[in-house]
Amino acid sequence: MSSDQGLAPLRSAPSAPVVFGAGAAIGVLGGMIGLGGAEFRLPLLIGLFGFAALSAVILNKAMSLVVVLVALPARLTAVPAAEVAARWPVAVNLLAGSLLGAWAGASWAVRMRSATLYKVLAALMVLMAAALVLTHTATLGTLDLPLWAQVPAGVVAGFGTGVVAAIMGVAGGELLIPTIVLLFGQDIKTAGSLSLLVSLPTMLVAFARYSRDGSFAVLGANLGFTAVMASGSVAGAVLGGLLLGVFPDVVLIPALAVILLVSAAKLARHD
């Protein structure tokens, strides 16, 4: 962990209600589009709470893991576990790449200079904005690839997703869901459940890599902050799920994409 990656936020310690409220707001945003919202939480950790880039990524990863652990059983009530289990080859195919990608992404993140990591995060947020618009405004078909091409394509896509998820501290559903639909021809609802099954072990691998050096110490130093914000994120995600469909996608998705792009521009200029 480089010396400029401090364990504590650069600003004064925020109160628990403020931290919970921020997490809840992020959870609502994610819940309204059926995702965890980690892509919105990352710039908040950096811009509002003043964490350095790598510290924010690791804290974001910890909170994303909590959200996924809560969301997985809830998701299985909407899509039967037997139906998801029957599609295990899809998850295995993606995991073959995503586990390697998570290890590689976390390794690159801990070696980057802070200034470089800010710019990489900004570029990845633009990617997330594009994926968000594609997934929620376009009708995704399927590529109908033969098996000999589908399997390596799944490994490559999984690797890329694992890298992005590790570097940003997100679950990766924004990328996994359209990948599962396009490559494997699954419907959106099933793709959402499969993405959680891929995300969980992928995040654990990234955690294992981060825990190998001092960068992981930020989690222990900010355990209370993480627990409060994660609780807010879960509560907000539940509320956001209840609001699903209240705001039309034609209004909501462009607004969220703009938020990501503005956040990306701020991160790119971050000193």
Write down the pLDDT at residue 7.
54
* 190-235 pLDDT per residue, tens: 888 888 889 999 999 999 999 887 778 888 889 999 999 999 999 9
Do the beta carbons of residue 267 and residue 46 sit within 8 Å?
Answer: yes
C-alpha distances (whole Å) from 36 to each of 85, 111, 116 are: 22, 27, 26
DSSP H helices in the chain: 16-32, 38-47, 53-78, 81-85, 88-111, 114-137, 147-168, 173-184, 188-210, 217-221, 223-242, 249-268
| Torsion-angle region of 265 (φ positive above 0: left; ψ -120 to 50: alpha; else: beta) | alpha
Side-chain-facing half-sphere of 245: CA atoms under 13 Å = 1
- Those residues whose C-beta lies under 8 Å from the C-beta of residue 31, and which sit 6 or more positions away, are 37, 236, 237, 238, 239, 240, 241, 242, 243, 244
Q: Is residue 5 scored above 50 in pLDDT?
A: no
Q: Is residue 55 scored above 70 in pLDDT?
A: yes
| Torsion-angle region of 213 (φ positive above 0: left; ψ -120 to 50: alpha; else: beta) | beta
* 69-121 pLDDT per residue, tens: 887 777 767 677 778 888 899 999 999 999 999 999 999 999 999 899 999 99
Do the beta carbons of residue 197 and residue 81 sit within 8 Å?
Answer: no
Nearest to 228 by CA among 72, 63, 48, 69: 63
Q: Determine the average pLDDT of the residues in 233-254.
A: 81
Terminus-to-terminus CA distance in the chain, angstroms? 18
Q: Is the pTM of this model over 0.85?
A: yes
* pLDDT band per the 50, 70, 90 thresholds, residue 12: low
Write down the pLDDT at residue 6.
52
* 26-38 pLDDT per residue, tens: 988 888 877 778 9
Do the beta carbons of residue 33 and residue 177 sit within 8 Å?
Answer: no
